[in-house]
Every structure is written in structure tokens, then in C-alpha cells.
Structure 1
């Protein structure tokens, strides 16, 4: 049985067990991405604190943001946003500052995530998992593939093979900027106009199959539906380790022109109904053993220094851990607001619709 199937079964058993257990004294409401939490961690937390964890899920950051704006700040205790949405959430008053005296395991956070650009001094967030974005392709189709975005954007390098692009506009604009010799984290009208023109030209090629998400493209590459796409390293690791034979000719690389490093972080909504319980949950995740268990489940990278010795060996090396050379080329996707955000959204809509 694959780990994906095991996770579904484990989640069902956990739910059944919770339903048959005695009534918990409190409830914690967790708002997270789908399949981004080991059910055994939830069960251990419930047992330790005699609580019930109620999980709700979102499929996109836009959906998460909209639900919090529509009253979710008083419905959820812990939310897990990505780095480039965090400044937007802070500006909108959706998050409360952290009382770090309630987080005894905070010292386990790696130094490089302790004072991030998206949340100076980590005033509102604690890192949960992190990862990278890159190219995934069929090594039989591209045996001598360049470690470059040119495989996607250069028609000669692509050789007319079917390909897709990620359905995240900011990531694709960043990739286009990097290919054009600019910084992955480029912003501004002129840079975005150039990036949009490149993506439109790429999109209108007859071998373009569409915009897709990171897991769908992995399945498509393994089945030969497309030969190339954009995905996240953790999703790649999950499929590769769960089905080595099916993904033996599928490879993930971080382009030399630069790409994205991202962080998903834990935060407490502004009007969380159970903030004290939220602190207990965040601190529980920061535990060295629990942090390793989480990463061994998700296949992404841990920001928990104390957890590293307990990781599976495959998660201590590339692509789970980028090489120093690749790490130096990674940038956070910039957070946008106001007129800049409106301009970007208009351009991304045009790329998708034209």
C-alpha cells in the first residue's frame, strides 16, 4: 500500500477514533492545506491536552485569505499561510502578534527563518515547513536537459514536447523574469510586461497543455501526458519515494537562473477563540521529535534545527535540501499590496484569458 493510500486510511481511522472517544474538554480549530498534517500528530496532541482538533482545509491562498476576511479570524485558532501572503494578512489585521514567552520550543527554529523578510522579528508567525519550486521533466525525453528555465521558455530547447506551467501567477512571473536575466523576485510594471509577453508567447505554442497544479503535473509527466512542467520539491519527493519505478525517469531541478524558496508558517488569527490552546499546538509542532515526524510525513523541509537528526535520510539531501549553490539562487516570492497587487492581478488575468 502506498503512503498516499496509508495517509487516507490513517486519517479515516483517526476520525473514527475521535468520534468514539470521550468528549474532549476543548476544541482547537486548525485551518490548513489538505494532506499537510500527519494524523498521528493530531492524535498525540489531542491525547496530551485532552482536546479535539477540528481541521478545515483550503485549496489556495486566495481562498484562505477570503475566508479569514469574511469572519474566519474568530472561527480558527491556527492558520498556515505562505510567506508572500503574510504581510497582506498583517496589513489587513487578520493576525495577532505572538507572545513568544508561551513558546518554549521557539529556540529550535533555524536562524535563517528566525527573522524573515516577510515577518521581521517573526512577530506574527512561526515557520511550519519550507520548500522550493523548480522544473520537473522526463529524463528519457530530455537526456541532456539544461538546468534552466530555457527548457520551458525556449522553443528550441523544448523540442516541441508537450508541457504545462504552474497555475500560480507570481511563481510563473518570477520564473519568466529569471529567464530574462532579471531577479526571480522582480516587481514593477516594466518587468511584469516583459514577463507577461514571454508567458503569452509560450502559452500560444501548440504544445502547451495548460496551467496546472504541482501534483497534477507530476502525474502527467510520469504517464507521458506532458514531458515538462513546474512543481514543488516536496510533492516530487512524495511521488518519487512512494512509487520509485513509476517515477524513475522523472527529475526535479532548480534552474540556475534562480527560483523560489517558500515558507508556510503557523499564525494565530486576530480573534482566535482559543488562543492559549493555539500556543500549545504551535509549541507542540516545534518539538524536535514532532517536527521531524511532520517532515517525514509531508516530504518537505523542516525549519526546525533540532528535528534534523531525526529526519529520514532522503530528506537530508537534494532535492529535499537544496545544495549550497542552489540555495544561493533562491528568493522569496514578493508580497504585493495596493496598486501593485491590482496591476499584477490584471496582468495575470490577461495571461490566463488571452
Structure 2
């Protein structure tokens, strides 16, 4: 993976300062597959003209009969919420089947082992988009055709013209490249850091990840090696997204052991993390993020905050791609539906699953005061300014044994 972070920290925020107004909402598509081809294995159809905002004719079925079709979507919790899926199913008289996962690597392995045949669309954290493309598991998307339905709808931070590149792949070396081929559409995003009970942990203390290594606080560790190792690297001043030297690996090993030696408990899932925070069992949860503690905040517990200390956080962007193979004719409409601002807003605040911010301008304009506080919408630009975008750990296998050994010490 590339070690290019030119869209992180203050330079990213400055680049995004000037943006264009949002254009019309996404309209009726048809044909299934996003504007490209791979022989005769899937169908395409010219995309319809984008209607003006508020046009009542949005998402009328095309001439091709879509009634009774089913979209199979491999994705995260929240996408399956009734307020997200119900309106699409009703409008198109179609079914949607969502298979939820919690691990990018495991989901990738599922597709690579042959399960790609079971799905039409898949939503991964963006670092996996180049890997999926290189493995031939997803198909390219025509940027010009899809721009009105995707990037024209986004907030300035996610505009291609402002430098957002994490949906575009250089097909020579399969790294992110703003001039590369579009392979996905951003849908939700957030940050990985740690969560603190601000009633028990002072702002001075949580200004650094060092608080999780301090015996002053009760610390719980979420057994999620993949994100935990990245945050440990940030704390140690090590770039997570490059090949690491033996000295750096040893530095991470010692820091990981010290963290576990200081921790009170190991937590198997984010529900356990939230319960331990709410019960007062722990003061700090390592790791966490807005996707984990948003449920607590939505319940009125604003003292629980996924803070971003001076070392920064890791920004992830859930990105939806078309899986290779046959597609139902309604597949394009499904992706465009999910990208519409009012539907993205529902995904940001689903009837089931976690709360997450989305990059869609209409959603940002329509968050109410409570949603803005829970989601910390007004802090997002500063959080991105101080963080790094997740582009993948190329030598993750070096760190998996470290995490396992550290757990045995707890």
C-alpha cells in the first residue's frame, strides 16, 4: 500500500476549504453494474439525466422490469435498518438481503474463496478497495457517469477536485490515485481512537493516548487487533501504513505489552465495551471510535467520547463497490438510492445498528441539533485535520503474534 498521506492533517483541511454547491439529487438508473463491462457477465444501460432537486420522478423504474429482483449486499450493521432498506424495497417492489460482517480481512477472504458469486455489492473500509480491485473481485465504475449520483452529492472534504482519492485506484500498482479508476462510492466514515468517560478523565489526561498506559485509570481493551495496533503505532510515532523495521516492530511489541499489563479487562466486542463504560467498570476503552460509542451518546450519555488526542486518529471510509459477476437490473438504482442525501441521513441515524456520520451534503444540512451533538458533526473537520486516512498495513502479519502474546499476559 502507498505511504502517501497528502490528504491528511492541516493540508487536507486547507485543500477542502473551497467547495462547490451540491448539485441535483440522484435519479433513476438501470442496468446493473456501474458503467463498465467484463464481457457478457453483466448488463449496462445508459444512466438517466439527473433530475433537479425535489423532482418527484426520482427513482421511477426503468423500462427493464425490476419487480421481484433481489440485491445481495455484503456490508456492516446499520445498512440493514428498516428505515434504510424499507423505502427502497417498497418503491421498487424488490428485495434486499444484507449479510453483515465485522472484519474487513474475513470479508475479503470470503469473497476471494468464491462467495463473490453470492453478492452484487460490497461495502468495505476504503483501504480494501485497491486489494479487491487487484484480486478482480470488484468492477470499475465510470466516474463521469456516476459523478452526479456520488461525488457531486458530497461535502467539500470528499470532493475529488479537493483531493479526495480514496475511491480511485491506479491499475498499474493498485494504490490510491486521484487520477486512477473509480472502484467505489464513499458511504459512511469515522475515526478509530479511544473512548473516555470525560466525567472521570480530565481533558489534560486524554490529550494523549498515554492515558491508556497510566495506572491512574481503569482501562479496558477491545480485542480488535487490527485497529488497536494502528493506534499503538500512532502513539509511538510510527507510520502504520508502511513496511516496518525490526526496531519498529520491537517498539510496538513493548508498547503493546505495557498496555495490556496496565489494563483491567479484555472485552470481546463493542457491546461489552459500551457496557463496561456505562457501568463504570472502566474509565477508558481502547480502542474505540464514533461507530462504537455513538450508541451510548444516542442514549443521552454524552460523557462518553471517542476523543482524538494529539497523536491523531485513523479515518476510515466505508466504500461500496459492485461485485464482479451478474447483476440484477435494479443494482444501479440501489447504489444511487443509498447515495441520496436523505437516505444517507437515515443510514447515519438508523433504527438499528450504530450511528455514524456520512459525507453527503444533504445529510449535513439536515442533521438536527441532537444528531449534531451525538455525531459530533461540528468537530469532524478538526478531527480529519489531525488524523491520517486508513490505507492499509502492508505487514500486518508481523503484529498479529504480538497481540496474541499480549493477551496472554492480561
Residue 259 of structure 2 corresponds to 202
Do the aligned residues in 1 keep the contact of 2:140 with 2:182 (CA within 8 Å)?
yes
Q: What TM-score, normalized by structure 1, do the two folds share?
A: 0.81
Residue 17 of structure 2 corresponds to none
SS in 1 for 2:379: coil
Residue 128 of structure 1 corresponds to 187
Gaps of 5+ in 1: 1-22
After superposition, residues 115-194 of structure 1 pair within 5 angstroms as 115-117=164-166, 119=168, 120-121=177-178, 123-143=182-202, 145-153=205-213, 155=214, 158-159=215-216, 161-183=217-239, 185=241, 187-189=243-245, 190-194=247-251
CA apart distance, 1:51: 1.0
Gaps of 5+ in 2: 1-65, 169-176
Is it true that 1:112 corresponds to 2:157 in the alignment? yes
Q: Among 305, 311, 332, which residue is 2:367 paired with? A: 311
After superposition, residues 10-89 of structure 1 pair within 5 angstroms as 24-89=67-132
The CA distance in 2 between the partners of 1:320 and 1:213, in whole Å, is 25
The CA distance in 2 between the partners of 1:162 and 1:325, in whole Å, is 28
Q: Flag the structure with higher helix content.
A: 1
SS in 1 for 2:330: helix
The CA distance in 1 between the partners of 2:226 and 2:308, in whole Å, is 17
Do the aligned residues in 2 keep the contact of 1:136 with 1:218 (CA within 8 Å)?
no
CA apart distance, 1:136: 1.5
Q: Among 197, 222, 226, which residue is 2:278 paired with? A: 222
Do the aligned residues in 1 keep the contact of 2:296 with 2:302 (CA within 8 Å)?
no
List per-residue Cα deviations over 1:244-298 (Å, max 9, x = no partner).
Answer: 2xx3543331111111111111111122x32542221111111121122221324
CA apart distance, 1:239: 1.7
CA apart distance, 1:222: 0.9
Residue 12 of structure 1 corresponds to none
Over 6 Å off, 4+ runs: none
The CA distance in 2 between the partners of 1:350 and 1:27, in whole Å, is 45
Q: Among 233, 236, 253, which residue is 2:290 paired with? A: 233
Q: CA RMSD in A?
A: 2.6
Q: What TM-score, normalized by structure 2, do the two folds share?
A: 0.70
Instruction: Say if 1:253 and 1:128 are closer, same or farther in 2 by CA, change over 3 A.
Output: same
List per-residue Cα deviations over 1:56-99 (Å, max 9, x = no partner).
Answer: 22232232112211222121011111122222222222111113
SS in 2 for 1:280: helix
